[in-house]
Amino acid sequence: MTSFHAQSPRRGRPTSAGNQSNSQSTSNTKRERGVASERSPLLSANEGDYFGEGAAGTGEVDDTQQTKSIWYLILLTISIGGLQIAWSVELSNGSPYLLSLGLSKSLMALVWIAGPLTGTLVQPYVGMLSDNCRLPWGKRKPFMLGGAVATVISLMFLAWTREIVGGIMGLFGADPESPAVKNSIICVAVVGIYVLDFAINTVQAAIRAFIVDCAPAHQQEAANAMASRITGFGNIVGYVAGYINLPTYLWFLGDTQFKVLCAIASIALVSTILVSTTLIHERDPRLEGPPAQDKPGVLSFFAKIFTSIKRLPPQIRRVCQVQFCAWIGFFPLLFYTSSYIGEIYVEPYLEQNPHMTPEELDRLYERATRVGTFALLINSVVSLLTNVFLPFFVAPTYDSQPISDIPGETGSITESEDGKPSWLDRLQIPGFTLKRAWFASLILFSGAMFCTVLVRTVEAATALIGLVGITWAMTLWAPWAIISAEISRRDARIRAAKQRQFSPSRGNGGPASPSLNSIADSNRSISSDDDEADQAGVILGIHNMAIAAPQIIATVGSSFIFRIWQKPRGTPGDHSIAIVLALGGIAVLVSSFFVATIKESPTLPADAMVAAEEGDGTGAGSRPGTARSRNKSYEQLPRVSIKRANLTRNKSFGGAEY
C-alpha cells in the first residue's frame, strides 16, 4: 500500500552468514517454486511472482516507514498545489466567463452542481480502480498523469470554446452571431465544465491516495500539513493571477483573462505532477499480491461503496459525519464570496444612483468582482499562514513513531544530545491538540457567518472572510491527517505481519523458506482481515463523498433561498447571499458537535501496534492477539512514546537536518 522512497542505507551490506543463508533460502525457494508449478496446476504462474518477490519474500527490511526529510514531503505534495491553481481558476473566473457567453444565472446552479456531483461519483471509483492497479511503476501515478492530461485538454478547450465551436460551425456557413451558434457555444462550454470537473476529481483522488501511500505512518500528519500549506500557496497564486490584468503582460498565452489563466493553470499542473511522479518512488503494487479477480463495474462499484460505508472504522465514520455537515456551510463561501463582497460594495452606489444604465452597471459590478477577489486573496493568505505556523503549537496526537528498521526492535529517537527538548517543543501548547484546534476553527467559522447578515462595510466583510481562512486551513489538514494516520497504521500492521510470515529462516537452525503453496495460504490468511478493511483509495473516496454530497444539498438549498429573497440586478438591499452564508454557519456549528465525538488516540508506533496485535509488548510474538489483548497492550504502552513522536514531528518541521 505504501511506497518506497529510496533504498535503505542499511541494505546491500549483509553479513557473510546472511549472504550464505539468503543464498540457501533463494535456491530452496527456486526449487520449491518449480515443484509447485508442476504439482499445483490451479496456481497461476504469475502468482508466484507476487508472493516470491519483494520485501516480504526476500526478507529485505521495508524502508517505507523510515523518517523522510522535509524536502521529500514537499516533493510528495507539490502536485496538489498545481491542482489547486486549476481549482482557483475555475472557482474565481468560471462564472464570469460563462456569463460572458450568455448563460443565464438561473442555469448557473445546474453548472456548478457538476463539482460535487462528479466528486461524489468519480473519486470513489477512481480510488477503487487505483487500488486494483498493478502496473510496475505505481498504482496512483497512472491516474495522476492521465487525469492531468485530461484536465489540461479540458481547460484549454474551455478557454477557446467560442473560437473552436464558432470556427467549426462557420465552416458550414453558420453566422457566428446567430442565436444557434451562441447556444451551441454555451452547451459545449457547460459540457466542458463537467468534463473538467471529472478530470480534476480524478487527479485529486489519485494525489490524496499517493500522499497516504508514500508518507510514513508517523509522518501522515506532517505530510497533510505540508499539503495544506502548498494548497494555500496554490490558492494565492491563482487569486493573484486573477486579480492582475494578465493579457497586458502575457499576451502570447491568449487575448483574454480566462485564456491566460487556463494556460497558467495547465503549465502549473503538468509541471508539479511531473515533479512528484518523477522524483517520488511509489512502491511496486505487484508486491501486494494479485488484484481482485472480478473487475469493478458500475453495479459492483456502488455495491462495494455501500458495503464499505457500513464497515467504516468508527474514527473515520466520525470524520465523515463532520465533513458532511461542515461542507453544507463551506460550499456557499467558496462560490458566493466575491458576490457577497460585491453586493456590499455596490450598495452605496446604487442608493446614490438607482437608475444606472446597463453599461454603468457592468463597470460597477466588474469593480465589485475585483474587490471580492481581493477578499478571497486575504482568505488564502490567512489560510497559508495558519498552515505554516499553527502546526508548531499543536501537540501531535495522530502521528505515530517511525517503525524500526530491524524487525522486532522499536525505533528509538533521541530528543537532543544533552537530553533536553528542542526549542520547538516549547512552542507546543499543552492540551491544544489537532482535534481541539479543528473544533475551535469550526466555532470560529460559525460565528463569522452569523455576522455576515450584520456587517455593511467592505472592510468588515473582508475581515470576516479573511478570518475564516483559519477554518479553511484546518479543514485541509485535520480530517485528512486523522484518516490517513488510521489507514497508514493499519497498512503497516498488515505489511509487518506479511514480512514475518514470508521472511526466510531466522538463524542457522531455522527451517527452510516456505513453499509457494504455504506462502499463498499464509497470504490468504493474513489478507482475510484486510478484505474486511478497505484500501486507502476506497476510504478516501468515501470521505470525498461525505464532502461532495452535502454540496449538492447546499446548491439546491441556496437556489431555493435565492428564489425567495433575491432582488433584480442593480436593486439595492439584496442580502440573499448573506442569509445563505448565515444558514451555512448553522450547519458548521452542528459539525463541531461531531468533532467532539472523535477520539484522540494515543501516539502509537507502527511496530508497537504490530506487537499489540500479537499480544506481546516486546514486538516478538508469533500469534495474533484477541481484541482484549490488543486493548491491554495499548494501555501498557509507555508514555515516553508521546515525547518521541513529538521529536519526530519537530525534526520534520525544523529543517535543521535537511
What are 456's three cell numbers? Answer: 455593511
Looking at residue 105, its pLDDT comes to: 63
**b (16+ CB within 10 A) / e for 358-386:** eeeeeebbeebbebbbbbbbbbbbbbbeb
Looking at residue 295, its pLDDT comes to: 56
Domain range for 143 is 62-289+296-413+424-504+514-654
Percentage above 70 pLDDT, the chain: 66
Looking at residue 291, its pLDDT comes to: 64
pLDDT band at 14 (very low <50, low <70, confident <90, very high): very low
CA distances in angstroms from 630 to 316, 634, 640, listed in the order given: 20, 6, 19
Q: Is residue 44 part of a domain?
A: no
Q: What is the pTM of this model?
A: 0.64
Contacts of 556 (CB under 8 A, 6+ apart): 109
Looking at residue 156, its pLDDT comes to: 94
Q: Three-state DSSP class for 12?
A: coil
Determine the average pLDDT of the residues in 212-223. 80
pLDDT beyond 80 at 646: no
pLDDT band at 30 (very low <50, low <70, confident <90, very high): very low
* Residue 294 burial (CB count, 10 A): 8
Q: What is the DSSP letter of 597?
A: T
Q: Is residue 184 part of a domain?
A: yes
CA distances in angstroms from 469 to 98, 183, 235, 394, listed in the order given: 27, 38, 11, 17
Percentage above 90 pLDDT, the chain: 19
What are 99's three cell numbers? Answer: 456569463
Give the separation between CA 223 and CA 215, rounded to whole angstroms. 7
Highest mean predicted confidence (pLDDT) among 111-120, 170-179, 338-347: 338-347
Looking at residue 130, its pLDDT comes to: 78
pLDDT beyond 80 at 618: no
Q: In whole numbers, what is the pLDDT of the chain averaged over residues?
A: 72
Residue 265, class by beta-carbon neighbours within 10 Å (0-12 exposed, 13-18 middle, 19+ buried)? buried
Q: Is residue 525 part of a domain?
A: yes
Give the separation between CA 558 and CA 278, rounded to whole angstroms. 43
Determine the average pLDDT of the residues in 244-249. 83
Residue 327, class by beta-carbon neighbours within 10 Å (0-12 exposed, 13-18 middle, 19+ buried)? buried
pLDDT band at 634 (very low <50, low <70, confident <90, very high): very low
Q: Secondary structure of 498-539 in the HEC alphabet? A: HHHHHCCCCCCCCCCCCCHHHHHHHHHHHHHHHHHCCCHHHH
Determine the average pLDDT of the residues in 248-256. 87
- Helix, strand, coil fractions of the chain, as percent rounded to 5: 70, 0, 30
Looking at residue 97, its pLDDT comes to: 79
pLDDT band at 466 (very low <50, low <70, confident <90, very high): very high
Q: Report the CATH number at residue 429.
A: 1.20.1250.20
Looking at residue 465, its pLDDT comes to: 94
Per-residue pLDDT reduced to its tens digit, 102-161: 776 667 767 878 878 877 778 777 877 877 777 777 788 889 999 999 999 999 999 999
Which of 107-111, 240-244, 471-475, 590-594 is the least confident region? 107-111
Q: Is residue 382 part of a domain?
A: yes
pLDDT band at 172 (very low <50, low <70, confident <90, very high): confident
Q: Is residue 551 part of a domain?
A: yes
Q: Is residue 283 part of a domain?
A: yes
pLDDT beyond 90 at 330: yes
Give the separation between CA 232 and CA 225, rounded to whole angstroms. 11
Per-residue pLDDT reduced to its tens digit, 557-582: 888 887 788 777 777 887 888 999 99
Q: Is residue 122 part of a domain?
A: yes
The better pLDDT of the pair 69, 378 is held by: 378
Looking at residue 454, its pLDDT comes to: 93
Q: Three-state DSSP class for 605?
A: coil
Q: Is residue 48 part of a domain?
A: no
* The amino acid at 285: P
User: Cell 461542515 belongs to which residue?
Assistant: 326
Looking at residue 19, its pLDDT comes to: 45
Give the separation between CA 425 and CA 587, rounded to whole angstroms. 36
Q: Three-state DSSP class for 296?
A: coil
Which of 301-315, 348-362, 521-535 is the least confident region? 521-535
Structural domain total, the chain: 1
The better pLDDT of the pair 75, 525 is held by: 75
pLDDT beyond 60 at 402: no
The better pLDDT of the pair 654, 140 is held by: 140
pLDDT beyond 60 at 553: yes
